Each structure stands twice: as C-alpha cells, then as structure tokens.
Amino acid sequence: MALKNCRLLSGFILGALAALIWPYISPTVNDLTAPPKDQDSSCQDADSLPEWRFLVSRVPFTDGDDQPALQLVFNVGNSMAKVVQSDSQVVVSAKEAVGALDVYEGATLTFTDQTYTVGAAADTRTAAAVACYRQSTFVMIKPDAMQRAGEVISRIEEIATLRIADMRLVALQPSMARLFYAEHSQRTFFEDLVSYVTSGPILAMRLVGPDAIKVWREALGPTDSNEARRSAPGSVRALFGTDKQRNAAHGSDSREAAGRELAFFFKDTVDGICSTSEPLTELSCLVLPHVLKDRALGSLWRSLHQHHDCTPARAELVRLNYIDAWRYATATLLPRTPPTPQQMDEMQSLLSGPAVSLHLKSSRPEETRSEFLHRFKDIIGPRNPAKARKAAVESIRANFGQTNTTSGVLCPWYDWLI
C-alpha cells in the first residue's frame, strides 16, 4: 500500500513538473505536409475522410499507472491531433500539431506531459485510409551487404516517401531462417539459403509509406544481382549484391508477407533471433532524432565504418519517453529538480522523433577495450559541434552535429564520466 502511494505520489510530482515545464519544450513541427497520394483508386474514399482514429495507449509514468481506453483523433486537413477517451469522447489532451507522416501504428507521439503509443486503426474507414497511406514493408539487409549497410540505409533515406519506422540488428538462427523462407523449403537451394542468411548479422527494418511494398521492391531490383546490373543498374541488388543468392537485401512481396515478416522480427518476444551484442567490448551511443529527420543515418553509419574502424554491434530504433529524455538531459538517473533551459532544449531534441541506440565495437582486430575507449573521443568529438569541427574534423559530431543539443550523437556514460 505504502509502495503504491509512493508510486502515485512520485507519478503525480513528475506529472505536475512535466506540465509546468512543457510549454517551454513542446515539440516544434516542421512536417505539416498533407499525406502523399496513392495512385490506387480504392483510396478515393480515404481521401474524403477528414479524421483518422487510432487506438492509443499512454506510456505510463509509473508501473501501476492504470489507463482508460483512449483514441487518437488525427485531422488530415491540418495535421492536428488530440487524444480522447473512447467511450465518452472526453478530450484528454489539447490539439497538437504532428508531422503528417508520423501517425501510424507503432509510432510514439508526445503531447503535453504524456507520451502515447499509436495502436491499430479504431474504425474501418481509418483502416482503409491507413492501408493507402501507411503501408508497412519488411526490409532485411542480408549478411553479405552488412559491410555496406550504411550505403543501403542511405538508399532508403533517398526515397522521400518512405520512413524507417523500426530497426533491429540481429543474428538469425537456422530455425528462424527455415521458417522465414518456408515457401522455398522444397527448392534445391534451400539449405544454402539458410546457411547464407545465418552466416552473419542482419539488419531488420520496417519501412512505412504509401505503396511501400512496391516502392521498395522497385528500389531492390531483380532477385539475381547479375540480372539487376543489366536491367536495373542503379538498384540495391545491382550495387551491393553478387549473384542470385547473395543479393544484398530483401523486401516483402505482398501485404500478407509484410505482416508475417514484421511480426517475426518486431514482436515483443521473438524466438529464433538473437542479439549480436557483446556488451563488455562495446560503447553505447544514441543517434539523435535530428539525424534521422535529416535522413543522414546511413551516412553516419558509413562514417563509423569507413573513417573510424568501428561497427555497430547492436542497433535498435527507440522512441524515448519523457522520463528517459529527462534522465539523458539532466545526466541523472533520478531527476529531482526541474531541467535548466538548456536541458529543456536537450529534451526537446530527444523527444522530437525516434532515435537509434547503437553499441559500437572496434573493428581493429588487436585493439583492446581501453585503447578503443581512448580512441572514442576522436570518433565522437567534443560535445560542442563547432569545437568538434576545429578539434576533431573527422569526428561524428563535427560532421553530423549542429548545435550543443542537436549534436548528432549522445553518448551518456562517455559524455558524463570522461
């Protein structure tokens, strides 16, 4: 009972403080464009739907934080959204502007003092509209192309209508690979295919956008990379693949396949894939949301690889909640005092979209952990990007940082302790 009261009290205090400072840090919106149109004529009805409704749940402040059934109401015309209590339509949050492409199942949105996770469409008309404008597809960068993963990510980022909505660096186990490619189980190349896709880490991604399945399949090119070099020379398989089997990347070929494949990799608990991470030899960093918004993740990844001899051993797309952002910004595990104006800016930057949590390991075979740690300051660069551009020209912050709060990457333990 005392514990529950204590939780309630701490939740209340955090909530009250959050409400107090929110006006200073609420996100600015720079993506107010209307959703791009799909060519499909079945989307005409979706065009005339003024509001989209999604089931939505509050990311709780505390473990015991009960919540009523909530809906997110998104006004397509002006890209404003609000949260209402579904049964009574009581308005829970004031209207907030959101990026037109940021509302989809699985997205996280922060309004006032609360972070919400967007769930499925709440009615059939919204479901139809979402199918037109928010199609998801599953992408896998296969083991043979992982050395050039940054370049493949850049190809994705060049497609303006697609957005990376999930990402996970994993190793496929043979059992999972067999399940994933079950449709080919009777083909002569099946066992070779299983060996190939389990021969090293893969990068699993979810892309969201109008007609995402077709758009990504076109960018991939034909299955056989040699054929791709003949008929689609700019395609991913032409540029990064080798032959019929070692063809760099995968893309779902239908809605059904996309749903099944995404569930394989992005359910909360997944059997048959394992982490590629070995925490004792790695250093962790957060690639800040502005890098993803600027579509520069691929180029940052490439820079780590090519200029700094280090490789992501773990990569996951994360959406920070308010308390995590507070912890990062104030450099404390239990934030007790309201953030300073600079920390508020930092929180605004952290909450402005998804980030990527990276664990980096050295790719220099003989390098010890302490040598890598020592080298890390040249890889990351000083916290202030302007200083980084003078002191460490090649560093990540010199090349991807803008200001102190949009510094490209945040490496909490390194930044706080060293």
Q: Per the annotation, where are the binding residues?
A: 142, 189, 217, 223, 237, 247
The distance of closest approach from Cβ of residue 240 to ligand ATP in the complex, given in angstroms and rounded to an integer, is 13
CA angle 63, 67, 71 (to 5 degrees): 135
Nearer to ligand ATP, 55 or 249 (CB): 249
Q: Which of 57, 62, 242, 245 binds ligand ATP (CB under 6 A)?
A: 245
Catalytic residue list: 250
Q: Under DSSP, is residue 374 helix (H, G, I), strand (E, B) or coil? A: helix
**How many residues can be counted in the chain?**
418
- Given the complex with ligand ATP, which of 247 and 277 has the nearer CB atom? 247
**Smaller CB separation from ligand ATP, 250 or 397:** 250
Q: How does 380-400 read in b/e, with b if 16+ C-beta sit within 10 Å?
A: bbbeebebbbeebeebbbbbb
Q: Residue 305 CB: number of other CB atoms within 10 A?
A: 19
189 is a contact residue toward ligand ATP (CB under 6 A): yes
- Which of 110, 126, 137, 247 touches ligand ATP by CB under 6 A? 247
Region near ligand ATP per CB under 6 A, out of 108-116, 154-162, 199-207, 245-253: 245-253
For the beta carbon of residue 118, count every other beta carbon within 10 angstroms: 20
State the minimum distance, in angstroms, from the CB of residue 168 to ligand ATP. 17
DSSP result, 292-331: HHTT-HHHHHHHHHHHH-EEEEEEEEE---HHHHHHHHHT
Residues between 249 and 288 that touch ligand ATP (CB under 6 A): 250-251, 253
DSSP 148-213: GHHHHHHHHHHSTT-EEEEEEEEEE-HHHHHHHTGGGTTSTTHHHHHHHHTSS-EEEEEEEETTHH
Could you give the 3-state DSSP secondary structure of residue 98? coil
Please identify which residue in 49, 131, 193, 318 interacts with ligand ATP, judged by CB under 6 A.
193
- One symbol per residue from 213 to 242: x for binding ligand ATP (CB under 6 A), - otherwise; what is it? ----------x-------------------
Cα angle for residues 21, 58, 86 (degrees, 5° grid): 115
Taking CB under 6 A as the binding criterion, the range among 203-211, 248-256, 374-382, 400-408 that sits at the site for ligand ATP is 248-256
**Binding of ligand ATP at residue 244 (CB under 6 A)?**
yes
For the annotated binding site for ATP, the residues are 142, 189, 217, 223, 237, 247
Positions that interact with ligand ATP (CB under 6 A): 184, 189, 193, 223, 244-245, 247, 250-251, 253
